[in-house]
A and B are shown apart, each in its own frame.
Chain A
């Protein structure tokens, strides 16, 4: 429940916005962070931006996600190959 994801605000309409993290897009609310502008990076928690964050900090998290996705893909591939061998 307490996980939060950094994402970049790419569209803004009142207190609603669209945010992008590595190509994944969400409709979010910026009610709690009214000073946010398009281009800012925010921390999203349960559909709400809770604070603006530093671009460098966000990059670290995105890189980590990429690494996990890469690792997961490798793992699935290895599993697939194992399955092929058994079959």
Chain B
């Protein structure tokens, strides 16, 4: 039967299958041309999950390997940061407002969930955090401000609102991170295993695809932005493999529906009005210069570190945990001695197992 004779939904499915087959063929022929092993890092945790869920690895040639990168905000948050959150949560004069993703991440001992305290509130947006502060003027609300360029503008707006409305009992503990300096740090270290990057979709909505210019120019690595559908990931990989086969390194995007070269400039201005880059620890990657965001000096009264007089955030990793190696693409989760034994989604040791977007959690669920 010709596609035109099919019902609309079947026609769509046929179109989709044709796109998948086209991308698969391009990947295979490009990888055959290259011959050697190719390693592509998917930077974003949502890509990691999508790659497993759609069974994309089974469609790839043997010499193309996917590495799961440091793009899950929960996974790259340093344990020292979590321990500071725990200390603040144990106080009687605070309310901790957090995105749900952070609730199960263990610090040295407890997680926010296991503390079972009424002052820990899961919120869907920074707006809800600020509303808590207005409702409870006798408490200090600490917003657990983690995430990349996608969540940073929301934190910036909340601080701007708090400053404008005079909500003095609201502050944030900034663990916000920047994606591009981390990608460059991975390439600049001893790690020469990454041939190209599949760049995150929603982070790129804010950043714009041009933000990867320095990765392409300084390190000669292809950077291709993709959305989260399986077919888009395959099409993004096809573009990457074609570039490698041709000896090119360029910026490209298969997520044109939402990503522009210049990104969301309004969001970026709000971020840079309130925050400035500083050196800060990433779990497993150590201190990366200029890859963490802190509030500018004029907003320091909204900085939880300043508010509570915390001078130093200790940095420590759980014993035996290989999340750091995994985030660098130097190890696959099953190679970690704790994986599937001491460390499972029910009893996570490291953050890559806690977060549903973490590489270990995805491997545990889909990859075994």
> When chains A and B are docked, how far (Å) is the Cα of A34 from the Cα of B73?
27
Shortest 9 CB-CB contacts between residues of A and residues of B: A47-B125, A57-B257, A32-B267, A1-B101, A2-B46, A51-B205, A54-B257, A46-B154, A31-B157
A45 within 8 A of B: yes
Q: Are A51 and B125 in contact (CB under 8 A)?
A: no
A10 within 8 A of B: no
Q: Can you list, as one digit per residue, whether each of B345-364 has a CB less than 8 Å from chain A (1) or not (0)? A: 00000000000010000000
**Distance from A4 Cβ to chain B, minimum over Cβ atoms (Å):** 5
Which B residues from 252 to 277 make CB contacts under 8 A with A? 257-258, 264, 266-267, 270
Report A's interface with B, CB cutoff 8 A.
1-4, 27, 29, 31-34, 43, 45-48, 50-51, 53-54, 57, 60
Closest-by-CB residue of B relative to A28 is: B125
CB-CB < 8 A to B44: which residues of A? 2
Contact of B153 among A32, A34, A43, A57 (CB under 8 A): A32
Query: Could you show 21 A-B contacts with beta carbons less than 8 Å apart?
Result: A1-B101, A2-B150, A3-B46, A4-B150, A29-B125, A29-B127, A29-B154, A31-B157, A31-B270, A34-B266, A45-B151, A45-B202, A47-B124, A47-B125, A47-B128, A48-B153, A48-B154, A50-B205, A50-B267, A51-B264, A53-B257
Contact of A50 among B101, B127, B206, B357 (CB under 8 A): B206
> When chains A and B are docked, how far (Å) is the Cα of A45 from the Cα of B257?
16
Contact of B264 among A29, A46, A50, A60 (CB under 8 A): A50
Contact of A32 among B200, B203, B258, B264 (CB under 8 A): B264
- With A2-B203, A48-B157 given, name 13 new contacts (CB 8 A): A1-B101, A1-B146, A1-B147, A2-B46, A2-B147, A31-B153, A32-B153, A32-B264, A45-B150, A46-B125, A48-B125, A54-B257, A57-B258
Known A2-B202, A50-B206, A50-B267; judge A43-B258 contact (CB<8 A). Answer: yes
**Distance from A52 Cβ to chain B, minimum over Cβ atoms (Å):** 9
